[in-house]
Chains A and B, each alone.
Chain A
Amino acid sequence: MSLTTAHSVVAPSSNAKLIAGTIIIAYALISIVPLLWIFATSFKTPPDSIAYPPKIVFQPSIEGYCNLFTTRTRQTPEYINSLGPATGFCDETVRKRNMVIAGPSNFLPRFVNSLIIAFGSTFCAVFLGTLSAYGFSRFKVPLADDLLFFILSTRFMPPIAVAIPIYLMYRELGLSDTALGMILLYTAVNVSLAVWLLKGFIDEIPREYEEAAMIDGYTRLQAFWRTVLPQATTGIAATAIFCLIFAWNEYAFAALLTSGTAQTAPPFIPTIIGEGGQDWPAVAAGTTIFLVPILVFTILLRKQLLRGITFGAVRK
């Protein structure tokens, strides 16, 4: 769908436009406050983050980011003084709180896991999805509607319900807490979206292109490769981004089926704690880093958004 093309409703008066505009802008601003607050909190010091009343103006600090990427231990001032000069900005910040950096935190490996699992599963889901979508779109498949409905129906199951037998199955197969296991699982979840979306996109490509190519001597496979795929690039890209966003944001499976080596960022971020409870600036910093890619993708996807969120049911 496009947000800009105008079909002018029997022209709303300029007064109506003004009122509508004001309400929409007010809603947009209010709804964006929690996100701005996450961003602001990531640049606060821990004391500033829990100040009363909440601080809107504050001295920015990258302590939250330092805490996100490191683990620290409390030391006596004498011990800290006996160390050499601080080696970096984070080192200096931490020492002011009578702490010493003990090593890197788990955030980076968890973030890398998220990248590997999200991209791996997206690639597989889009690959399988493109093939199936082409199959359903161009060939007379027996029971096609039933198969398509079957593919969609796998989405009706609550993730926890699926997680129980998957947990047992993965334990038997040695796939628990592995990236491969998570990639397989996310591929299975995403492939239903990919098939439905891509079938819509491929249906829109005229058959005449392939038929012309096949008359010119291409085989069906070559025609698919040389004429359909290039035409479907936009659809494939949009589908890939939707799969990527799902896999990136997924929490339920990740929280239940991974605990260590293959844990992704969503179950990890809430576990970031400092001394005396949740370290909110560090959590906010992790959240900010985690959300930025999605913001970029949302803007890229603007025009395909509607189609993606409705499994291709609404296309305009």
Chain B
Amino acid sequence: MLDRTADNVARATPEPLAKKIRGISDKGLAWLFISPTILLLLAINIFPLFWAIYLSFTNFRANRPNEVVKNLGLANYRRILGDQDIWIAMQTTAHFVFWTILLQTVIGFTLAWLIDRKFRGHAFWTTIILVPMMLSPAVVGNFWRFLYEPQIGLFSYVVSFVTGIPPTNVQMLSNVELAPWAIIIVDTWMWTPYVMLICLAGLRSIPEYIYEAAEVDRASNWRQFWSITLPMALPFIMLAVLFRGIENFKMFDMVNLLTGGGPGSTTEVASITLKRQAFESWRTGYSSAFAIILFVAVFGLANIYVKALNKVKQR
């Protein structure tokens, strides 16, 4: 009885008001749903970013909060661009990014291509190969320190067993020549599966009729690979390179635990320099300026790259 009364009242209400009773408008709902995320990102990401930009123009030091903060203008930026150590760190980062991406792309694509032969049990073995990339780079990187120990470490033992170099001489982490390769090996071990997985999706997206047509035209396997497989999988390969490039440019955790930037500064990638400047030397203003430069660099490079990627996709 009461229900019916309420129903009649609702029906008698003019349309806009009824809408209000039934619920908020779509537009209101959209903002209600989206704004919490935007607000959170503004508070935790954008506000600190602007703070960092402000600090980058000052001589502020986080360990001396009571000192008078002086405005230095662009001095921090000028000092960074003239700082020999920063350029060395950038070179170290470039070396690391270049080799990890090259190795991961070549090995990852090869593995994906082999898995696409669809031998028996390929799904199982693919899952096994994927495991390393899901693990914590910090925790696993830390354990690699043990594998790299001269003599007692499994890696050193296997290397000396295979090459005949005395086991005490395989000093992956303390040798200036070898340490940059030690971090490249661990990163390649962890992230090759990542590239492989994306390449595999690329290979599987190639429609079969193209290969059938190539067969009809008697194109050799080699020719098919270079004219069909590789070009059609290229957007996927480039996507994998983009993701790995951004991640490795920011690389911190694995390297910090494996070498801490050492020996000396031979493995000091940009993020490690940043950490040393910000949290060990406490040059907050200076390191903020470096952080901004790094951010702009990643952002800029990624943007240029995405444009190139879209061009390849459209072809």
Check B215 for interface membership: any CB of A closer than 8 A: yes
20 of the cross-chain contacts (CB-CB < 8 Å) are A3-B123, A10-B215, A20-B114, A20-B117, A28-B128, A128-B37, A134-B33, A156-B299, A159-B271, A163-B278, A164-B284, A164-B288, A169-B51, A191-B37, A251-B136, A266-B138, A269-B139, A290-B139, A291-B136, A298-B131
Neighbour of B208 across the interface among A7, A49, A139, A165, CB < 8 A: A7
Say whether B129 contacts A28, CB under 8 Å: yes
Please name the 10 residue pairs, one residue from A and one from B, whose CB atoms are nearest each other, closest first: A161-B291, A251-B138, A165-B48, A21-B119, A219-B23, A249-B136, A188-B44, A135-B33, A139-B30, A20-B117
Say whether B44 contacts A184, CB under 8 Å: yes
> For residue A50, which residue of chain B has the nearest CB?
B152
Say whether B29 contacts A141, CB under 8 Å: no
User: Smallest CB–CB gap between B46 and chain A, Å?
Assistant: 8
Do A17 and B119 contact each other (CB < 8 Å), given the known contacts A131-B36, A298-B131? yes
Say whether B37 contacts A158, CB under 8 Å: no
User: Smallest CB–CB gap between B269 and chain A, Å?
Assistant: 10
Do A20 and B33 contact each other (CB < 8 Å), given the known contacts A159-B252, A161-B295? no
Residues of chain B contacted by A295 (CB below 8 angstroms): 131, 134
Check B246 for interface membership: any CB of A closer than 8 A: yes
Say whether B298 contacts A284, CB under 8 Å: no
Interface residue count on the B side (C-beta < 8 Å) = 106
Say whether A164 contacts B291, CB under 8 Å: yes
Interface residue count on the A side (C-beta < 8 Å) = 109
CA distance A99 to B37 in the complex (A): 53
Say whether B41 contacts A188, CB under 8 Å: yes
Residues of chain B contacted by A169 (CB below 8 angstroms): 47-48, 51
User: Smallest CB–CB gap between A291 and chain B, Å?
Assistant: 6
Residues of B within 8 A of A (CB): 22-24, 26-27, 29-34, 36-38, 40-41, 43-49, 51-52, 55, 62, 111, 114-123, 125-140, 142-147, 151-154, 157, 167, 189, 192-194, 197-198, 200-201, 204-205, 208, 211-212, 215, 236, 239, 243, 246, 249-250, 252-253, 256-257, 270-271, 274-275, 278-279, 284, 287-288, 291-292, 294-295, 298-299, 302
Inter-chain CB contacts under 8 Å: number: 313
Residues of chain A contacted by B246 (CB below 8 angstroms): 155-156
User: Smallest CB–CB gap between A263 and chain B, Å?
Assistant: 13
| Extra contacts besides A54-B154, A168-B284 (16): CB < 8 Å | A17-B120, A24-B122, A31-B129, A34-B140, A151-B37, A155-B246, A158-B274, A158-B298, A160-B278, A249-B136, A249-B139, A255-B256, A291-B136, A291-B139, A309-B198, A310-B239
Mask for A1-42, Cβ within 8 A of B = 1, else 0? 101101111101000111011011101100111110110010
Check A132 for interface membership: any CB of B closer than 8 A: yes
Residues of A within 8 A of B (CB): 1, 3-4, 6-10, 12, 16-18, 20-21, 23-25, 27-28, 31-35, 37-38, 41, 49-54, 128-129, 131-132, 134-136, 138-141, 147, 150-151, 153-169, 171, 184-185, 187-188, 191-192, 195, 219-222, 245, 248-252, 255-256, 265-267, 269-270, 278, 280, 283-284, 287, 290-291, 294-295, 297-299, 302, 305-306, 309-310, 313-314, 316
